[in-house]
């Protein structure tokens, strides 16, 4: 009587306690940003549309739209990295220009670059607004604008650090297994979260006049 040989799974499908905990934590973060939205709209209602419009005119909406597009597309590249992690492919199996053969490391590295581009664009926008006289203490609009976008920028920076941790862990690991794949998936949850929050912030701050 022959015994069956167990074969390792080819994909990661089972929910992990770390992933579940991350989702719960992101729910609390959602409440934090909800408070920032409430602060923004409350301050806007108190100030009145005329005074508010004077500050809104200082915003460079086309530039911010480009910056937003880069961040949103970074969620796409991040998800491709997750797909590679789920099939336990840590690195590319072909040439660099063959995107279909990229592994998790290449997709996450590209995501990191796009996220860093977004932060750089936000810093540039802040410098331009300060030059125009809009600071944290110059007006109520400046206070809520910098607080809302600044806290989001800190969250994006935290996501960039998380990508670095994942890339370093994977490069030092002897083999790419469930632990590395789960870490990559959890980081993707966080990154998608900050992207969705920014879409809401961009709509409220830049589009809703």
* Model pLDDT for residues 32-58, shown as the tens digit of each residue: 788 888 888 888 888 777 777 777 888
Average pLDDT of 103-113?
A: 94
- List C-alpha distances in Å: 176 to 17, 25, 110, 170: 19, 26, 19, 7
Domain positions in the chain are 33-207
User: So what's the pLDDT on residue 2?
Assistant: 43
User: So what's the pLDDT on residue 133?
Assistant: 87
**By mean pLDDT, which of 16-25, 83-92, 160-169 is the weakest?**
16-25
Whether the per-residue pLDDT at 174 is higher than 80: the answer is no
DSSP states along the chain: -PPPPP---SS--S--HHHHHHHHHHHHHHHHHHHHHHHHHHHHHHH-HHHHHHHHTTS-HHHHHHHHHHHHHHHHHHHHHHHHHHTT--S-SS-TT-GGG--HHHHHHHHHHHHHHHHHHHHHHHHHHHHTT--TTT-HHHHHHHHHHHHHHHHHHHHHHHHHHHHHHHHH-SS--HHHHHHHHHHHHHHHHHHHHHHHHHIIIII--
Higher pLDDT, 160 or 31: 160
Nearest CA among 163, 187, 78, 72 for reference residue 118: 72
Topology given in CATH for the domain delimited by 33-207: 1.20.120
């Amino acid at each position: 009587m022959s015994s069956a040989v167990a074969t390792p799974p080819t994909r990661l499908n089972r929910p992990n306690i770390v992933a579940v905990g991350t989702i719960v934590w992101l729910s609390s973060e959602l409440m934090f940003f909800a408070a920032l939205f409430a602060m923004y709209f409350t301050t806007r209602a108190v100030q009145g549309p005329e005074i508010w419009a004077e500050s809104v005119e200082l915003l460079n909406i086309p530039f911010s739209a480009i910056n937003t597009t880069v961040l949103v597309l970074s969620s796409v590249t991040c998800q491709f990295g997750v797909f590679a992690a789920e099939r336990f492919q840590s690195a590319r199996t072909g040439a660099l220009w063959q995107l279909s053969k990229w592994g998790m490391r290449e997709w996450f590295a590209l995501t990191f670059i796009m996220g860093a581009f977004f932060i750089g664009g936000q810093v540039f926008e802040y410098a331009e607004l300060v030059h125009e006289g809009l600071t944290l203490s110059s007006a109520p609009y400046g206070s809520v604008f910098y607080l809302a976008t600044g806290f989001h920028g800190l969250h994006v920076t935290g996501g960039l650090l998380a990508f670095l941790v994942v890339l370093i862990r994977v490069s030092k690991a002897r083999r790419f297994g469930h632990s590395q794949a789960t870490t990559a998936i959890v980081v993707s949850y966080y990154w998608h979260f900050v992207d969705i929050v920014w879409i809401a912030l961009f709509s409220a701050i830049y589009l809703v006049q």
